[in-house]
Amino acid sequence: MGNSHAKGKLFVISGPSGTGKGTIYHELLKEKNTDFSVSMTTRAPREGEVDGKDYYFVTREEFLANVERGNFLEHAEVFDNMYGTPKDAVERRLERGRNVLLDIDVQGGLQVKAAMPEAVMIFILPPSMAVLRERLEGRGTETQEIIEKRLSQAINEMKLLAEYEYYIVNDDLETAIAEVKSIVTAEGRKVPDKIKSIISKYEEE
Ligand code: ADP
Ligand code: 5GP
């Protein structure tokens, strides 16, 4: 058996808070060969969130120590808290041929694109600002003040849509999930990435 598997692909999923990234993302994780990257954050855990599963919840000091050590693929301050993607875990999984999904804000997305230009960049848009507001309020995990902050930030984030390759309007959830899955499938069938491993498989027979 040769070590002929191709590297996995990195998918960056961004979009305004409340647009449905987390919901879509959790559906995608049911696909085989797809892993979630657990981010580190200084934000307090929400009801039901588990340390090490949803996020690694750390103090600002611990977070900054990780920045110093160069442990992050990207990191950014979002809504007064720090968030970062641990680098080693992502690289190990890609090497093993796993696809990795990152649910990160646009500042982080742009850092990933600069560091790894082969990353597949997907932007999730809400059907309208009114629906975005309903979703944030309906989720009920933030105070009204924080919801207003997230809504006013949404427009700034959407202005960076041009930096992304794909966009999905999350109106009907099932449709949006199917569209993201079709992007993942199509990306997995691109020839330049896979040509070597496809041929070596035939050679090994
Ligand atoms: P994000 O991760 O982008 O902040 P969430 O995935 O938490 O957003 O979604 C915000 C809220 O909107 C949640 O309560 C979720 O159940 C709901 N939601 C997500 N997608 C849809 C959709 N297509 N239709 C209706 N509600 C949705
Ligand atoms: P929340 O606090 O609602 O879980 O996330 C708030 C925002 O932070 C979302 O836009 C989410 O995509 C982003 N985020 C989560 N983890 C990371 C990360 O590791 N890096 C960056 N840059 N953003 C993140």
Q: How many Å apart are CA 98 and CA 117, to the nearest integer?
A: 18
Q: How many Å apart are CA 119 and CA 100, to the nearest integer?
A: 10
Is the pLDDT at 4 greater than 80, yes or no? no
Beta bridge partners of 25: none
pLDDT at 6: 77
Of 4, 35, 20, residue with least CA distance to 172 = 20
Is the pLDDT at 193 greater than 70, yes or no? no
Is the pLDDT at 1 greater than 80, yes or no? no
Q: How many Å apart are CA 102 and CA 100, to the nearest integer?
A: 7
Residue nearest to atom 15 of ligand 2 (CA): 104
12-39 residue pLDDT tens: 999 999 999 999 988 998 888 899 899 9
Confidence of residue 2 (pLDDT cuts 50, 70, 90): very low
- Tokens standing for residue 152: 């006013």
Contacts of 83 (CB under 8 A, 6+ apart): 39, 40, 41, 42, 43, 75, 76, 77, 104, 105, 108
Q: What is the distance in A from the centroid of ligand 2 to the CA of 190?
A: 29
Q: Once rounded to an integer, what is the mean pLDDT over residues 90-107?
A: 95
Is the pLDDT at 185 greater than 70, yes or no? yes
Is the pLDDT at 140 greater than 50, yes or no? yes
pLDDT at 192: 64
Is the pLDDT at 194 greater than 70, yes or no? no
Amino acid at 130: A
- Tokens standing for residue 76: 């950014």
Question: Which residue out of 43, 54, 139 has the highest number of ligand 1 atoms within 8 Å of its CB and is therefore the one to mutate?
Answer: 139
pLDDT at 3: 47
Is the pLDDT at 162 greater than 50, yes or no? yes
Q: How many Å apart are CA 6 and CA 43, to the nearest integer?
A: 36
Q: What is the distance in A from the centroid of ligand 1 to the CA of 41?
A: 21
138 pocket-lining for ligand 1 (C-beta < 6 Å): yes
pLDDT at 205: 85
Q: What is the distance in A from the centroid of ligand 1 to the CA of 146?
A: 17
Question: Which residue out of 66, 87, 105 has the highest number of ligand 2 atoms within 8 Å of its CB and is therefore the one to mutate?
Answer: 105
pLDDT at 197: 73
Q: Which ligand is nearest to the CA of 37?
A: 2
Pocket, ligand 2, Cβ cutoff 6 A: 17, 21, 39, 43, 74, 76, 78, 83-85, 103-105, 107-108
Confidence of residue 47 (pLDDT cuts 50, 70, 90): confident
Amino acid at 116: M
